[in-house]
Amino acid sequence: MSVALFFEQLLNGLQFGVMLFLMAAGLTLVFGVMGLINLAHGSLYMIGAFACASVVAATGSFTLGLVASFVAAAFAGVIIEALVLRRLYRRDHLDQVIVTFALILVFTEGTRWLFGSYPLYLDIPTPLQGTVHLPGGIDYPLFRLMIILVGLLVAVLLFLAVNRTRLGVRIRAGEADREMIAALGVDISKLYMIVFALGAALAGFAGALVGSVQSVQVGMGEPVLILGFVVIVIGGIGSIGGALIAAILVGITDTMGRVFLPMAFAAFTDPASANATGSALASMLIYILMALVLVFRPSGLFGEKA
Amino acid sequence: MRRDLIFTLAAMAALLAAGLYGYFGDEPFYLTLAAKAAIFGLAGAGLNIALGYGGLVSLGHAAFFGIGGYAAGILASHARNYEPLMTWPVELAGTTSAPVIWIVAMLAAGLFSLPMGLLSLRTGGVYFIMITLAFAQMLYYFAVSWPAYGGEDGLSFYVRNELGGLQTMNPWIWFLVCYAILAVVLVLIAILTRSRFGLALTMARENPLRLANLGIGPKRVLLTAFVISAILTGLAGALYADLNRFVSPAMLSWHMSGEIMVFVILGGVGRLGGPVAGACVFILLEQVLGGFTEYWQFLLGLALIIIVLMGSGGLAGLFDRSGAKKGAAHG
């Protein structure tokens, strides 16, 4: 195992983690402020990716594609919030789960209807192709590096928005006491819509970025959604900072596990079974991490005591 | 209570009618659908114990469904290839005996549900949903990446498992087997919910503090309910694997968890016959909507949203209200 490989995988893990954060941030905000568990968050991620792919195909501009992913996901978010989810805030979790599960069916099959089942591939814009030389002799794809930087930038902006702006004050107040801020004259339904649109836009943006590294396809949001849940459980619901740290932890654990566990097993068994055992164990690693966190801190690393 | 019984009998009668139609109309396809409805009803009845009676919103029951399925598939494939299941510390052979497989499936599902329940019940509410989902997903990825039993492609076994001298490959016989198991389980659930434990479970859902003050730990009651619920869903999984003579990670996927939950919601949460009615309606919708378009789940999703937003309490709720209206007219 070379040092270069280690750092390369560390960067891959960081990139994955940062994307997970963009998903988890929306989930945790929406749950924290509205008390809504939204399974359809993964669909917003998918919508962002498809919007980006369509706009890039039509205009050839990747920047416009990214803007479209942001706007389309936010728009879809506002629509489902106004038409469906708004009626669920006062319902129990079961109703929320089943309705948002139904929304996934609608979005997944609807997208399949429109775009077909075949994955679309996005071309990374030419200036961002190629690799950069990092200290230590690592050649790392420029685009992935950019994703890490953009993701971290968004994280910082989100952190500032929640902690330093008037909107952020309202969001945090909404998490603390919904009735009170309504009584203080804040238009609560407008606040909910803004929070939901913000979360949706972040998910859509993440979908477009990940879609351009991997592929854009129907159902792409669901694995990420579940990882988003794992991140929230580890980080603690409602905590943006917790979500960031947990997302990076999950991203790095998962990426490193997939690469290095089969290698570790190869040291003392034959290659074929080492690969099987290693990759099977690696696929379970983050859930084991989650279980460990639950044993020691049931409400997450940064969650308030339930 | 009485309405619940009538509703359950009606759902079971409808399912039997579907089977009889398939048998006398010589339509093995309908018999297979009816058997599938019975199995899904059983899986839903299992989930209903945790979800309906215990108020535990588990989005991870596909784990137990899949464990049951894999128990059946693994045992049967070992027996058919004459490979022992393990040779150390004791030699264990596979089996094609259905009762043994069912017991192993239930045990395996129960054993997995115990740590899963213990960990998930450390928290509550929305965490519980996410954690059960995550554990099921862990198993899903394990099944996908573990190559010994087919990995992503799943595992086929060509003949149904043996039950006495019955012709299990005959769709009518197989439907009757599934139907009978479902009926027995529903009777057991009816007894369970009326027992001391059932009352404690209801109170653990409604008012855990009060239950604790009565000297019964709510967590233990809920954990027991979770395990029983897993065992029944595991049994359904074994039957489902036998129905298709095939298991794959799809049985463990979270779509499966969602579907099992849909059976319960469509039929009526916390109602004895709810999951059976829900499973029947689900399969009916699948056939009818699937006839219009291959994207039938789009329409299913819309239908579900409308049903839940109207807050009807599922088919059982509709049944109650229609009965209440009639009662008012007569009174």
Whether residues B59 and A295 touch (CB distance < 8 A) is answered with: no
| A98 contacts in chain B (CB < 8 Å) | 261-262, 265, 304, 308
Indicate the pLDDT class of residue A52, thresholds 50, 70 and 90: very high
B121 vs A: CB within 8 A: no
β-partners of residue A102 are none
Per-residue pLDDT tens over the stretch A68-96: 999 999 999 999 999 999 888 888 888 99
Whether residues A93 and B126 touch (CB distance < 8 A) is answered with: yes
B154 CB neighbour count, 10 Å cutoff = 20
**Among A44-48, A158-162, B293-297, the range of highest mean pLDDT:** A44-48
Whether residues A276 and B131 touch (CB distance < 8 A) is answered with: no
A207 CB neighbour count, 10 Å cutoff = 32
pLDDT of residue A4: 82
Peptide bond into B89 cis (omega under 30): yes
Shortest Cα–Cα distance, A142 to chain B (Å): 30
CATH number, position B94: 1.10.3470
Closest of B127, B258, B116 to residue A28, by C-alpha: B127
d(CA B17, CA B39): 16
Choose, out of B116, B261, B298, the residue to mutate when testing the contact with A (most A CBs < 10 Å).
B298
Choose, out of B114, B271, B305, B307, the residue to mutate when testing the contact with A (most A CBs < 10 Å).
B305
Per-residue pLDDT tens over the stretch B79-100: 877 777 776 667 777 777 888 8
Helical (H) or strand (E) element with A131: strand A131-134
d(CA B6, CA B136): 35
Whether residues B133 and A237 touch (CB distance < 8 A) is answered with: no
> What structural domains and CATH numbers belong to chain A?
3-296 (1.10.3470)
Whether residues B129 and A97 touch (CB distance < 8 A) is answered with: yes
d(CA A85, CA B305): 10
Q: Say how many domains are in chain B.
A: 1
CA B58 vs CA B31, B124, B130: distances in Å: 30, 11, 8
CB-CB contact of A287 with B138 (8 Å): yes
Whether residues A229 and B119 touch (CB distance < 8 A) is answered with: no
Residue type, A101: F
Whether residues B298 and A105 touch (CB distance < 8 A) is answered with: yes
d(CA B92, CA B75): 10
Q: ipTM of this predicted complex?
A: 0.89
CA A300 vs CA A34, A293, B114, B125, B128: distances in Å: 19, 7, 21, 14, 13
pLDDT of residue B328: 47
Residue type, B206: E
At A2, list the tokens: 């070379």
d(CA B318, CA A135): 68
Which residues 168-227 of chain A have a CB within 8 Å of chain B?
222, 226
Per-residue pLDDT tens over the stretch B170-220: 889 999 999 999 999 999 999 999 999 999 999 999 999 999 999 999 999
A83 vs B: CB within 8 A: no
Instruction: Write the burial class of residue A157 (CB in 10 Å: 0-12 exposed, 13-18 middle, 19+ buried).
Output: exposed
Q: Which residue bears the tokens 């003579």?
A: B245
Shortest Cα–Cα distance, A102 to chain B (Å): 4
Whether residues A105 and B304 touch (CB distance < 8 A) is answered with: yes
B206 CB neighbour count, 10 Å cutoff = 10
A164 vs B: CB within 8 A: no
The set of residues, in sequence order, having a beta carbon less than 8 Å from that of B65 and lying 6+ positions away, is B43, B233, B234, B236, B237, B240, B251, B252, B256, B260
Q: Which letter, b or e, does each residue of B163-178 get, where b requires 16 or more Cβ atoms within 10 Å of its Cβ? A: beeeebeebbbbbbbb
pLDDT of residue B295: 86
d(CA B268, CA B3): 13
pLDDT of residue B325: 56
pLDDT of residue A305: 52
Please identify every stretch of chain B with a pLDDT value under 70, giving residue numbers as ranges.
87-89, 323-331
Task: Round to the nearest angstrom and report the end-to-end CA distance of chain A.
Answer: 43
Helical (H) or strand (E) element with B106: helix B98-120
CB-CB contact of B296 with B290 (8 Å): yes
Shortest Cα–Cα distance, A145 to chain B (Å): 28
B305 vs A: CB within 8 A: yes
pLDDT of residue A214: 87
Q: Which residue bears the tokens 């941030």?
A: A25
- Kindly identify which residue of chain A lies nearest to residue B117, measuring between CA atoms: A291
Angle of helix B218-244 relative to helix B98-120, nearest 10 degrees, comes to: 140
pLDDT of residue B315: 83
Choose, out of B116, B123, B140, B142, the residue to mutate when testing the contact with A (most A CBs < 10 Å).
B123
Task: Round to the nearest angstrom and report the end-to-end CA distance of chain B.
Answer: 20
Shortest Cα–Cα distance, B110 to chain A (Å): 18
Q: Which residue bears the tokens 């074929």?
A: A272
CA B157 vs CA A165, B62, B81, B243, B320: distances in Å: 62, 21, 10, 11, 44
Which region holds residue A136: left if phi is over 0, alpha if psi is between -120 and 50, else beta? left
Shortest Cα–Cα distance, A279 to chain B (Å): 7
B306 vs A: CB within 8 A: no
| B205 contacts in chain A (CB < 8 Å) | none
B130 vs A: CB within 8 A: yes
pLDDT of residue B108: 95
d(CA A191, CA A112): 33
Gyration radius (Cα) of chain B, Å:
20
d(CA B286, CA B298): 11
CB-CB contact of A266 with A278 (8 Å): yes
CB-CB contact of B329 with B287 (8 Å): no
CB-CB contact of A102 with B302 (8 Å): yes
| B124 contacts in chain A (CB < 8 Å) | 306
pLDDT of residue B330: 44
Q: Are strands B155-156 and B92-93 parallel, antiparallel or unpaired?
A: unpaired
Q: What is the mean pLDDT of residues A291-306?
A: 78
Whether residues A299 and B258 touch (CB distance < 8 A) is answered with: no
At B9, list the tokens: 């009998």
d(CA B223, CA B145): 30
SS (H, E, C) A63-112: HHHHHHHHHHHHHHHHHHHHHCHHHHCCCCHHHHHHHHHHHHHHHHHHHH
pLDDT of residue A304: 67
Residue type, A124: I
Asked if pLDDT for residue A282 goes beyond 90, the answer is: no
pLDDT of residue B329: 43
Which region holds residue A236: left if phi is over 0, alpha if psi is between -120 and 50, else beta? left
Query: By residue range, what is the domain housing residue B175?
Result: 2-330
Shortest Cα–Cα distance, B58 to chain A (Å): 9
Which phi and psi (to 5°) does residue A120 adopt? -100, 150
Helical (H) or strand (E) element with A116: none
B282 vs A: CB within 8 A: no
DSSP letters spanning B216-283: --HHHHHHHHHHHHHHHHHHHHHHHHHHHTEE-GGGGSHHHHHHHHHHHHHH-TT-TTHHHHHHHHHH
Per-residue pLDDT tens over the stretch B111-133: 999 999 998 998 888 889 988 99
